[in-house]
Structure 1
Amino acid sequence: MDKRYPSSDEVYALTKAEARARAYAALRAAKAARFPFPIEGRIPNFAGAEAAARRLRELPAYQAARAVKVNPDAPQLPVRAMVLEDGKTLYMPSPRLRGAFLRIRPQDVPPGQARRAASLSHCREYGEEISVAQLAEIIKEGAEGAGDGPAAPDGAPPAIGLVVAGSAAVTRSGARAGKGEGYADMEYAILRELGLPHVPVVTTVHPAQIVDEFPLDAHDLPLDYIVTPEEIIVTGTPHPKPEGIAWDLVTDEDLQAMPVLAELRRLQWERLTVRDVLAPGLDVLFVGINPGRASASAGHHFAGPGNHFWRLLHEAGFTPRRLAPAEEQVLLEYGIGITNIVRRASRGEDDLSWEELTAGGARLRELVRRHRPRVVALLGKNVYRAYAGLKKTADVAWGRQPGAVVDGVIDFVAPNPSPRSTIPYERRLALFRELRSL
């Protein structure tokens, strides 16, 4: 994966794994490690976590925040309790993002119970689960608890004003290594996807966890402040924060393991696209018009309920069995690929302008020249018109087209496999079989 820093002629002192190992060893050598044990493979608890939390209280960014998002790990329990004691709203992600975010409001915590309310064992007694959609509304309003009320005035603090992330190892330049599973990075990226502006990111650590420089990956979350029991370090970090989810790196397994991601994808479907199934020298490259809502939400081509594409492929003899949309990469084994002439998702073809289609046609011609499939199967007459540079009203027949848009590549036009198509299924199947016979 691409690294942000340093430039190609620089060398880091440590890898990220070495940074974690060094911090764990230094904590043990300082006899500063605290329960739970072993500390390896987790955000380590440390002696002085309470003092570091109190030091955090001195930070102006903390003082200004009305709501704070804090990781659920043991060393940040004093921070979570302090947030509630100070009359601020606490947001906690569920461990490993298996569930929704939890919101605990200070008015719901009786005096003297902040630490209990902030603990993983009891937090659900005091808080409420906030769905991604609800969190999006809170962020949109720009004020904690605004609900259905008016939007916050310009210049109002963001709905979540500070992010506290747990760390295994850090550097004075703001590089941060967690336990290696990327949850803090993902949590911040989710907030960005929902419209939260960039806000300060801080961690509380033992001084032994401050190590020599190590590299960050493109999706890693850097730190603006490092707080120890003795000092507040202003990192002046040169590392940019994530702008959102790197959807290209999100797998089906991730979506299953982290339902909050699946919910976010459904919520953000109009901003998403679907990755091409593509390789050089394919036998047939199918070209749809653009991803629909179901496909964008699922991250797979032709994923809408009732879409006939996968059935047509099988019954026409392209595949030995009917594949599911999630198996789309298997098509490459049969010399088949999929792309779309317009990459953005929409509710339907009517939401696309002809200018978008013609721009997509130019992109598609270049893609075909580069990958050289034997046949381009264009699913819809407008898809072919845009690809061929024809007028929107040009007459187009189904089947193999005369000539070739790209020299040496056969052009074939078949109906859109959508269940809303007015072309009878048997006619569509006959055209797919004709395509198969080429």
Structure 2
Amino acid sequence: MKVGLGPIARSDARLFVLGSLPGDASLAAGQYYAHPQNQFWRLLGQVIGEALPELSYQDRLDCLADHRIGLWDVIGSAQRHGSLDQAIRLANHNGIERLVEKFQHLEAIAFNGGTSAAIGRKLIGHGQRVGLIDLPSSSPANTRPFQEKAAVWAQLRPFCGAPPCARGQSGQKGNR
């Protein structure tokens, strides 16, 4: 049984990006999207105009918070051999349907990949006050060219608030 990571968001989050269940590299590191070939940080960095891959993990999270972006997964735990979504069995879902109630500023929920979208849309249902956006997976298993993925991920821009993150060359927060 593999157990995922908890939600990461400030109370003023406008956008949540939901994956399926972290892969083995992410679970081992205790960090979202830790596999070096996963394009998540590069894709989202392009959306918000930040060099996220160059930052420390904590600075990445701080930057997402500055842009009012939250992270979580639709699956809280499951049996799975390896890291592929197709191998997920006996999934226990996170309470993502409560995001709309808990986060009053939430405007959109984006699903990172087909598994996340299929499960997430069922859990959230129809008629919500937030937009639901399906994204191509950032996983290295999705071999679509980066620019094709980035073109779809660009639709997240209107939901990413805040000025640029102020970070120095060493990854430290600078003056705003």
Q: How many Å separate the matches in 2 of 1:319 and 1:298?
A: 26
For each residue in 1:137-184, what CA deviation from the matched residue of structure 2 results, as whole angstroms up to 9, or x when unmatched? xxxxxxxxxxxxxxxxxxxxxxxxxxxxxxxxxxxxxxxxxxxxxxxx
For each residue in 1:272-293, what CA deviation from the matched residue of structure 2 results, as whole angstroms up to 9, or x when unmatched? 4323212323121000010111
| Cα gap change, 1:381 to 1:272, in 2 (>3 Å) | closer
Q: Secondary structure at the match of 2:132?
A: strand
AA at the equivalent of 2:11: P
Equivalent of residue 149 in structure 2, options 428, 431, 435: 428
Q: How many Å separate the matches in 2 of 1:271 and 1:383?
A: 16
| Cα gap change, 1:271 to 1:381, in 2 (>3 Å) | closer
- Richer in strand (by share): 2
The answer to whether the 8 A contact 2:5-2:76 is kept is yes
Identity in percent: 22
Is 1:277 aligned to 2:35, yes or no?
no
Q: How many Å separate the matches in 2 of 1:389 and 1:284?
A: 19
Give the equivalent residue in structure 2 for 1:6: none
Q: Secondary structure at the match of 2:98?
A: helix
Bigger RCO (CA 8 Å, 6+ sep): 2
Q: How many Å separate the matches in 1 of 2:68 and 2:49?
A: 10
The answer to whether the 8 A contact 1:360-1:387 is kept is no
Q: TM-score, normalised by structure 2?
A: 0.74
User: In the TM superposition, what is the alpha-carbon distance from 1:305 to its structure 2 partner?
Assistant: 1.7
Give the equivalent residue in structure 2 for 1:380: 113
The answer to whether the 8 A contact 2:4-2:75 is kept is no
Give the equivalent residue in structure 2 for 1:226: none
Give the equivalent residue in structure 1 for 2:165: none
Q: How many Å separate the matches in 2 of 1:427 and 1:386?
A: 24
Q: Which runs of 5+ in 2 are unaligned?
A: 160-176
- Counterparts of 1:3-18 in structure 2, within 5 Å, are none
Equivalent of residue 369 in structure 1, options 101, 116, 141: 101
Structure whose alpha-carbon radius of gyration is higher: 1
Q: Secondary structure at the match of 1:344?
A: strand
Equivalent of residue 42 in structure 2, options 303, 311, 318: 311
| Cα gap change, 1:406 to 1:294, in 2 (>3 Å) | farther
Q: How many Å separate the matches in 2 of 1:405 and 1:278?
A: 23
Q: TM-score, normalised by structure 1?
A: 0.32
AA at the equivalent of 2:45: H
Cα RMSD between the aligned structures? Answer: 2.4
AA at the equivalent of 1:322: L
Q: Which runs of 5+ in 1 are unaligned?
A: 1-269, 391-403
Give the equivalent residue in structure 2 for 1:334: 67
| Cα gap change, 1:325 to 1:376, in 2 (>3 Å) | farther
Give the equivalent residue in structure 1 for 2:28: 297
